[in-house]
Amino acid sequence: MPMQTLILHRRRRGARLEVRDGEGRWLATFTDGARTVLLAGPRRSFAEGTAAVMHARWVRSSPSPFSGRVDRRWLGAALAANRARKADVLAIAMQYIRGAPPLVDENGMQIAGDARYGPGTVANREEGADFNDYLGITSTLPGEPPDPPERRQFRCLDCSGYMRMVWGWRNHLPSAARSDRIPLSISPRPDRSTMPRRAHQIFDSAPGIAVIPRKQPVTDLTPLQIGDLVFFDADPDDGAQVDHVGLYLGRDLDRRHRFISSRKARNGPTMGDYHGASLLDGRGLYARSFCGAHRL
């Protein structure tokens, strides 16, 4: 049945609106002020090494922040894309882990595939690889001077560059042009309309809403939703500043809260446990340094 004629039932849970069909089946969850939408779709798994997450939740960004009105046309297109297994935010994130095959667009440019973090070694890994460095193109963001790529950082993505690639460069719906991408900038904007360059700037100034305000350690993980950005203060050399960002994938097969991020020690995106478990709960480095979450 076309989405325009499907009866939708809405249920409020604070800032979140759950949408169900006429038979009570959950379809989507929207959040006031956020573009991130959690959606129903086929069950699937994400795995790297022994780490695995399996569920039937899909994540896409809508064209504008949710203000209480469900865009039935967009919802219908998103659910259809899920049924067709077209890549969403979570699937796109997995396209950059170690061993991921190259993916080229219609113009022949490689837009995904095995990404490194940056040149150097674990002891002195270079930061600064943004989405355009991976792609090897000059970034031309509105209102900012052109940013040419760094040749040394070709096919590299640091932690925030990785999130900017997934959310700001890649499309989340096959039929969308740029409307489903989160707008990017290098510097934070006073109106919080763009996703800036650094992890701490994203935490303070990105569009959307704070799901878990800054605190450390975080002990209550119930506000988290699959697709949220998760933030860390993991480096003791930069004081109390947020210095790392990742994407929450959900509970793994052991019911642990698992995320994916681009890390120096792994030299690229990982959801595995190389040089530190990619877990938000427990006693590991990232669980201890987890300090907040944001929904774009």
Cβ atoms < 10 Å from Cβ of 226? 20
Whether residues 117 and 194 share a domain: the answer is yes
- Whether 45 maps to a domain, the answer reads yes
- Whether 2 maps to a domain, the answer reads no
Task: Tell me the torsion sign for CA atoms 124, 258, 292, 276.
Answer: negative
pLDDT recorded at residue 123:
81
Whether residues 64 and 113 share a domain: the answer is no
Whether residues 205 and 117 share a domain: the answer is yes
- Whether 235 maps to a domain, the answer reads yes
- Whether 265 maps to a domain, the answer reads yes
All residue ranges of the chain with pLDDT < 50 are 1
pLDDT recorded at residue 276:
87
pLDDT recorded at residue 3:
53
pLDDT in tens, 46-77: 999 999 999 999 999 999 999 999 999 999 99
Say if residue 101 is preceded by a cis peptide, omega within 30 of 0. no
The reported pTM is 0.95
Whether residues 156 and 25 share a domain: the answer is no
- Whether 111 maps to a domain, the answer reads yes
- Whether 1 maps to a domain, the answer reads no
pLDDT recorded at residue 8:
79
pLDDT recorded at residue 1:
47
pLDDT in tens, 240-262: 889 999 999 999 999 999 999 99
Looking at the 3D structure of the chain, how many domains does it have? Answer: 2
pLDDT recorded at residue 35:
97
**DSSP helix/strand/coil, 37:** strand
Which of 40, 67, 86 lies at the terminal end of a domain, its last residue?
86
Whether residues 179 and 243 share a domain: the answer is yes
Whether residues 146 and 269 share a domain: the answer is yes
Which of 86, 105, 120 lies at the terminal end of a domain, its last residue?
86
Whether residues 249 and 223 share a domain: the answer is yes
- Whether 33 maps to a domain, the answer reads yes
| Token representation of residue 54 | 């399996």
Whether residues 48 and 106 share a domain: the answer is no
Which of 54, 70, 86 lies at the terminal end of a domain, its last residue?
86
Q: What are phi and psi of 195, to 5 degrees?
A: -95, 105
Whether residues 42 and 100 share a domain: the answer is no
Whether residues 66 and 161 share a domain: the answer is no
pLDDT recorded at residue 2:
54
pLDDT recorded at residue 227:
98
Q: What is the residue range of 140's domain? A: 93-295
Whether residues 76 and 176 share a domain: the answer is no
**DSSP helix/strand/coil, 7:** coil
- Whether 59 maps to a domain, the answer reads yes
What residues contact residue 185 under an 8 Å CB cut-off, 6+ apart? 141, 142, 143, 144, 194, 195, 196, 197
Whether residues 259 and 120 share a domain: the answer is yes
